[in-house]
Structure 1
Amino acid sequence: MPNIKPISDLRNYTSVVKEVSYGNRVYLTKNGHGQIAMINMQELDDIEKQLALYKFEIEMQKGEKSIKEEETVSSEELRKELGI
């Protein structure tokens, strides 16, 4: 169950921070609307790594699709094109 608190609870910052742990975020609201999410740093790092991996996989799929649908360039043609 999400841990939702009014932003006014930050007056006692230490007690709110103690509730944050890996997999247990604290969501703060202002006037009943979501305002801030507090998340464990290790969990944030893991989420960012997963996002980077996901983006990499998408780019790899684009590259594989491009190779299948378009012609490839030989190493000699590439050298000529680059002027090497």
Structure 2
Amino acid sequence: MPNIKPVSDLRNYTEVLRDIEVGEPVFLTKNGRGRYVIIDIQEYEKNRATLKLMSELAKGKKAGEEAGWLDIDEVEASLGL
């Protein structure tokens, strides 16, 4: 179940921070609407790495579609195998 709190709870931020765990972010609302998310630093770094990997994979896919794909023999030859 999501952990949702009003942003006003940050007045006592130690209580809010105590509720944060890996995989369990705290969602902060302002005027009854979702506004912010507080996540554990490990989860943040994992999310950034995932986004970077997905971006690089998308670039590779686009390059393969534009320039053409290499077959396994071409890859092995370019690697000197």
Q: TM-score range by the shorter chain?
A: 0.7 to 0.9
SS in 2 for 1:52: helix
Aligned to 2:4: 4
The alignment covers a number of residue pairs equal to 69
Dislocated runs of 4+, deviation >6 Å: none
Give 3-state SS (helix, strand or coil) of 1:37's partner.
Answer: strand
- Max radius of gyration: which structure? 1
Query: Counterpart of 1:36?
Result: 36
For normalisation by structure 2, the TM-score amounts to: 0.80
Equivalent position of 2:73 in the other structure: none
Q: Distance in 1 between matches of 2:59 and 2:30?
A: 39
Task: Determine the structure 2 residue equivalent to 1:80.
Answer: none
Q: TM-score, normalised to structure 1's length?
A: 0.77
- What is the one-letter code of the residue matched to 2:45? D
Q: Structure 2: 5+ residue runs without aligned partners? A: 70-81
Cα RMSD (Å) of the superposition? Answer: 1.3
